[in-house]
Chain A
Amino acid sequence: MIIRILGEGQFLLDDSHLDRINAIDNQIVGHVSRENKAEFARDLAKLISTVKELASPLDPSQIVPSDIIIPPSDLSFEEARQVFCGDGLIKG
């Protein structure tokens, strides 16, 4: 499975780790809906470090679409809320 961390490129992750990624993803959904800013920042950092720890960087000359896209590490809580509202991350 190919994962992209926005701003940091693509990584190759074994499918067996998908559950862990999904679990953190679900927690992040909860934090955003409950406005838990601190926990949101903590789990976003955890998500990114987990992927980096378990996955290996993809050769940058490979041109393939990703299966999962992870937001950049400096995504603010406000931006995360916008992602949920469907307003997008960056204007334009």
Chain B
Amino acid sequence: MGFLDRMSTVVQAKMNKIMDRIEDPRETLDLSYEKQLTLLQNVKRGVAEVTTSKKRLELQKAKLQMNTDKLDSQAKEALLAGREDLARKALENKAALQAQASTLDQQIADLSDQQQKLIAAESRLASKVEAFRTRKETIKAQYSAAEAQVKVTESVTGISEEMADVGMAVSRAEEKTENMKARSAALDELLETGTLTDYSGGNDLDQEIAKAKAKSSVEDMLAKMKEEMKK
């Protein structure tokens, strides 16, 4: 059995869960239509969730960027104060943050892709639901219950496949955003508690640079004094 045959079996199992077997085929149509409308709402919610997650990551990226810039200017200040060791430390931290930033970029790109796919899926489903609604009314108006059976099976099977597909896409998107939420919460915590900056020595760095600056200005003042006393 090929891989694609097995894939069909997976989708068929989903479809069986979606489709209800009801005596009156016309009732089946109405019930399926109700489910389609619910699914359409779910997709919309899925799109909103992915969009929110993406925004969150973008904010995080901005925050990381700010920290990176800060470390960069700290490195410059440290160099000016003649503390190459501190400058090196700041640049090492900057490199660590930059690595985090590129992971974030990848995640943002993934979510963006996910978002576009879901929006397209929503639009395809909406077209099918509308076509189904028209067909449903035609079938109900023109055929007796017995005659309608074949037409109903055809329509319901076709739309159930779409529903299974879209349902799976929404679940996958949800799973992905959940995973990212967890990871981004961890990163947030690191940024907030300063663990990341601590591990990179940001706060200590500030103090040390301030000390170094103070020291060099003390040296400057001393030198100036000495100069003056020579006169």
Residues on A lying within 8 angstroms of B by beta carbon are 4, 6-9, 21-22, 25-26, 28-29, 32, 60-66, 68-72, 74, 80, 83-84, 86, 88-92
Contact in complex: A28, B3 (CB < 8 Å): yes
Known contacts A61-B131, A69-B11: A83-B3 contact under CB 8 Å: yes
Q: How far is the CA of A59 from the CA of B14 in the complex (A)?
A: 23
Residues on B lying within 8 angstroms of A by beta carbon are 2-4, 6-11, 13-14, 117, 120-121, 123-124, 127-128, 130-132, 135, 154-155, 157-159, 161-162, 165, 168-169, 171-172
For A29, give the chain B residue with the smallest CB separation: B3
Q: How far is the CA of A69 from the CA of B168 in the complex (A)?
A: 13
Q: How far is the CA of A80 from the CA of B6 in the complex (A)?
A: 10
Known contacts A4-B161, A8-B117: A60-B128 contact under CB 8 Å: yes
- The smallest C-beta distance from A56 to any residue of chain B, in angstroms, reads 15
Q: How far is the CA of A86 from the CA of B7 in the complex (A)?
A: 9
> With contacts defined as CB atoms under 8 Å apart, how many contacts are there between chain A and chain B in the complex?
88
Judged by DSSP, the binding face of B is helix
Q: How far is the CA of A8 from the CA of B117 in the complex (A)?
A: 7
Q: How far is the CA of A8 from the CA of B122 in the complex (A)?
A: 11
- The smallest C-beta distance from B213 to any residue of chain A, in angstroms, reads 51
Q: How far is the CA of A89 from the CA of B3 in the complex (A)?
A: 13
Q: How far is the CA of A64 from the CA of B159 in the complex (A)?
A: 7
- The smallest C-beta distance from B69 to any residue of chain A, in angstroms, reads 34
List 22 A-B residue pairs with CB atoms under 8 Å apart, sorted by A's residue number: A6-B11, A6-B169, A7-B168, A9-B120, A22-B2, A28-B3, A29-B2, A29-B3, A60-B124, A60-B127, A61-B128, A62-B131, A63-B128, A63-B155, A63-B158, A64-B158, A72-B169, A72-B172, A80-B3, A83-B10, A84-B6, A86-B9
Residue in A6, A8, A61, A88 whose beta carbon sits within 8 Å of that of B130 in the complex: A61
Known contacts A22-B2, A63-B132: A70-B7 contact under CB 8 Å: yes
Q: How far is the CA of A77 from the CA of B137 in the complex (A)?
A: 44
For B158, give the chain A residue with the smallest CB separation: A63
Q: How far is the CA of A2 from the CA of B37 in the complex (A)?
A: 25
Q: Which residues of chain B come closer than 8 Å to A69, judged between CB atoms?
A: 4, 7-8, 11
Residue in A21, A61, A66, A86 whose beta carbon sits within 8 Å of that of B161 in the complex: A66
